[in-house]
A and B are shown apart, each in its own frame.
Chain A
Amino acid sequence: MKLDYAQLLESNNLLQINGDETYWLCVTRTVQESKLFPVPAYMLMSYLNAFYRYPALLRKIEDHMSAEEVGDRARHMGAKANAIAMWGLPCFYLLGREWMINMGLLRPQDAAEDVAYILDFWKRFELSFRRNSGHLTAFEGGHRGQIHSEAQLQVFHADLYDCKVGDPLHQAAQAFVASASQYAFLIACESRISLHNHGPYNLGDDRQMIVRDFNDIAEYDFPWLDDVAEAVPYNNLTVTMATRGVNFNIMDDWGSFESDPEFKDENIVGVGLYTSGPLSDGFLPVGMGSREELAQTFLDLNDKVKDAMSRLWQKMAGWSRDQMLDAGALTYYAIIKDLAHIAGCYDPEDWIKIDHRAERFRPLLNDEYSRDALGEICVGAAPSHQINEYMMMMHNDAPTRIYSPIPYSILLDGDYAPTVGGVEPGITYLDEKKDVYRTTEGTLSIDEYNARVRKFQPELHKAENRLFCETSVKYRYDTPEADALYKLYQKHSRNLVGKGAGLRRDEVEALRQKSNRG
């Protein structure tokens, strides 16, 4: 990657954007600790693994598919290629870099080509993934995560089933969301990486819709779900949820939300359920044939995830510290692994191993050092963060910044090491992953899965559909091209199949109400 002044200016800007957001996200929580998992220790290990491996693995992905195409495809599924994953891409890499600077193992200019490439990949993915809102991050968009196009939102909206507190569907959906959230935290070793929310989307009449994704809940990439999650039939589930009487005023890139007033289960007035993945060409309804079927589906899934959670907890409670550390580190580090699935080049050796260069640091990672070192690098308290006393950071008056910029002086003296190079061998204390991957086309081996993905040409991503954007629709909704595009989104819709591009939100609501009245 050519490093010139313009490139470095952009890299340092992107680095600062992610740093400002990271500070805000961290300061509204505390350092995460757990009596079960050595959380700060595994987080630090994940950052090192990201530092050593992301550059080569992102280049490998781009050998198959560009970052912007991966971003476009990711928008059409509720997989782990979402806002939190893509916040983590630069963040985990850059926190690893920052920690190494403080340990004296790296200067801000070292690995400069990797830093610039990571940030460039991130930018191109985000700009395509979020092209419907036009933002780079939820933070930039005023803490709104509005990802989808009208065509997709109309389908989610139209197919929502009404529900209210006390009715069977409401109870079943609420119970599933609570259990799935807890299961997701456990799968992700205490992190929030397996559950995500985005939106809100305005349904009118004091209603907003949020979209809630649960990822990696079946036998898929994580060896610790082998066998225990065998009965979970979907790897990714998306719950669409209409609410009344609450305004979601924060929906951040971690998928955390705040609302005014506080969101309670009594605010839920409509639900839907979908699955998706790299082979699905959009969202597939799950149990959406009738209200009764949907309620029963939530109940069945609730039983399955609760059983899997109980079995998984007992498995994890018997782990050694090294196993816990590996599982957490790999969960964090592999936050972007679904990019490789989307590109059809996933290899468990790339994503479910600790690179030997990172593994060296394990003896440092006791609970106390990890807690303190993590706290310092996340909130700008380490020596590398300190800048001249005239400056004040975005969120407070301290003269600090979260990440060290690449110094421009490298354009004068060329004094930097460009890259960490390729992926090197890795190890893990965990059991080997079974070659079993739950996809929307059933359970596949990884070779078969990759082959099918590489062969798959989603209709939504043919150029005439991919580039027919919201602005194109605005002025050309009455064309055959727009109609064909909307019909693609509508092909699995209970209430919109074949309706085409001409409907407005109120007309969709009328169709929905008519259907709900039966």
Chain B
Amino acid sequence: MTKLFLDTDKYGDESPSAVVAAFHGSLHEIVRQRLEESGAEWKDFVLGDATTLITKKDFETVDRTLVDAGHRYDWSAGISQKERPDAYKPADGTSDADLATFCFVHPDAPLANPDAEGRELRGVGDNVVRYKENTTGIARYIRSTDRVLKWLTEGVPENTIAVIDDSGGTLTAPILEQFKGVICAGGTVRSHLGILTREYGIPCLMNAKVNGIMEGDTVTIESTARAKTAEDYQGQTKREVTGNVWRIAKREE
């Protein structure tokens, strides 16, 4: 069997990702096969024949093999799932109908019964900017372009605290300015959504670990909490810096 340089990697472990390990394992075999077929030395093959002998069809085979074996990819961009529903996991929580029952369920979200002020702890997040007051509004999920397009046309409902799992700034670009607050399940305070909410002066918790907040619940985010810094993320300050997310009232059914 033709040997590749990777076969004698002294230190490298297999990729921790199952999909990466599977894809790369298949690719290594294709490279091995094509090198053997070419009969060339590696240094002549690698930036020469390899370009024409290893084709787009080979890469399609790598993808198709995993999908045919039953794997369904995680999706992040809505368009990916929409164009290849057979290859991706279902798109839950993206339609208005789904949102009647959908909510984020983070396993590490701290939960507590209502306190003396009636605030039920449903999670925490990293505060982007410290403001003088906490922020209360109605939780509304934004997970699809359909909802953005609708609110772009009709206007964002008043008092909306947007609950988003997208730390980017493009999904909500045309309507972000109208949010009262943001709870983002991903990213850090230095992510794009963090940067933009700071520019607009919109209270925002990033990297939020929340559980059980339903569409239409009244929530308060602790925008008076200390803002998280790069040093905090690197563990240099040895302090836990989070802002709370409380549910004030469940939605009216």
Binding site for B on A (CB under 8 A): 27-30, 32-41, 102-107, 110-111, 174, 177-179, 181-183, 185-186, 189-190, 192, 250, 256, 258, 261-265, 309-310, 313-314, 316-317, 319-321, 324, 357, 359-364, 366-369, 371-373, 375-376, 381-389, 395, 399, 415-417, 419-421
CA distance A450 to B15 in the complex (A): 46
Say yes or no: is B100 at the interface (Cβ < 8 Å to chain A).
no
Choose among A34, A360, A384, A386 the residue that contacts B76 (Cβ–Cβ < 8 A): A34
Q: Select from chain B the residue with minimum beta-carbon distance to A114.
A: B47
Choose among B88, B167, B192, B234 the residue that contacts A367 (Cβ–Cβ < 8 A): B88
Q: Select from chain B the residue with minimum beta-carbon distance to A374.
A: B20
CA distance A27 to B227 in the complex (A): 18
Whether A192 contacts B83 in the complex (CB less than 8 A), given A27-B234, A36-B77, comes out as no
Mark interface residues in B109-138 (1 if CB within 8 Å of A CB, else 0). Answer: 000000000000000000001100000000
Whether A367 contacts B168 in the complex (CB less than 8 A), given A29-B191, A264-B201, comes out as no
Say yes or no: is B28 at the interface (Cβ < 8 Å to chain A).
yes
For the complex with contacts A36-B170, A250-B230, 12 further pairs of A-B residues with Cβ separation under 8 Å are A41-B77, A102-B24, A107-B46, A190-B170, A192-B192, A258-B229, A264-B129, A321-B83, A360-B56, A364-B62, A386-B13, A388-B10
Mark interface residues in B55-70 (1 if CB within 8 Å of A CB, else 0). Answer: 1101110110000000
CA distance A316 to B50 in the complex (A): 35
Tell me which residues across on chain A come within 8 A of B17, comparing CB atoms: 369, 372-373, 375-376
- A-B pairs, top 10 by smallest CB distance, nearest first, are A383-B12, A372-B17, A34-B168, A178-B199, A368-B73, A386-B11, A185-B169, A38-B77, A33-B76, A363-B59
Complex contact B145–A317 (CB within 8 A): yes
Shortest Cβ distance from A316 into chain B, in angstroms? 8
Whether A321 contacts B77 in the complex (CB less than 8 A), given A28-B230, A177-B199, A363-B62, comes out as yes
Shortest Cβ distance from A107 into chain B, in angstroms? 5
Complex contact B168–A190 (CB within 8 A): yes
Choose among B51, B59, B171 the residue that contacts A362 (Cβ–Cβ < 8 A): B59
Question: Which listed segment binds A: B154-162, B182-190, B211-219, B238-246?
Answer: B182-190
Shortest Cβ distance from A245 into chain B, in angstroms? 14
Complex contact B13–A178 (CB within 8 A): no
Complex contact A32–B191 (CB within 8 A): yes
Q: List 13 A-B contacts (CB under 8 A).
A: A29-B190, A33-B166, A36-B166, A36-B170, A105-B46, A177-B199, A256-B195, A319-B79, A324-B77, A364-B23, A369-B73, A376-B16, A376-B20
Say yes or no: is B208 at the interface (Cβ < 8 Å to chain A).
no
Complex contact A185–B168 (CB within 8 A): yes
Complex contact A420–B20 (CB within 8 A): no
Say yes or no: is B37 at the interface (Cβ < 8 Å to chain A).
no
Tell me which residues across on chain A come within 8 A of B10, comparing CB atoms: 388
Count, A-B residue pairs, CB within 8 A: 254
CA distance A183 to B199 in the complex (A): 12
Complex contact A36–B186 (CB within 8 A): no
Complex contact B152–A189 (CB within 8 A): no
Say yes or no: is B96 at the interface (Cβ < 8 Å to chain A).
no
Tell me which residues across on chain B come within 8 A of A256, comparing CB atoms: 190, 195
Mark interface residues in B61-96 (1 if CB within 8 Å of A CB, else 0). Answer: 011000000000111111110011001100000000
Tell me which residues across on chain A come within 8 A of B187, comparing CB atoms: 29-30
CA distance A321 to B130 in the complex (A): 38
CA distance A105 to B59 in the complex (A): 13
Choose among A41, A103, A360, A363 the residue that contacts B63 (Cβ–Cβ < 8 A): A363
Complex contact A383–B78 (CB within 8 A): no
Say yes or no: is B54 at the interface (Cβ < 8 Å to chain A).
yes
Q: Select from chain A the residue with minimum beta-carbon distance to B227.
A: A262
Tell me which residues across on chain A come within 8 A of B48, comparing CB atoms: 417
CA distance A102 to B167 in the complex (A): 28
Interface residues of B in 8-34 (CB under 8 A from A): 9-17, 19-20, 23-24, 27-28, 31-32
Complex contact A103–B15 (CB within 8 A): no
CA distance A182 to B199 in the complex (A): 9
Whether A357 contacts B12 in the complex (CB less than 8 A), given A33-B186, A36-B168, A36-B171, comes out as no
Complex contact B199–A30 (CB within 8 A): no
CA distance A102 to B84 in the complex (A): 27
Complex contact B170–A189 (CB within 8 A): yes
Q: Select from chain A the residue with minimum beta-carbon distance to B152.
A: A310
Shortest Cβ distance from A392 into chain B, in angstroms? 14
Complex contact A110–B46 (CB within 8 A): yes
Shortest Cβ distance from A44 into chain B, in angstroms? 11
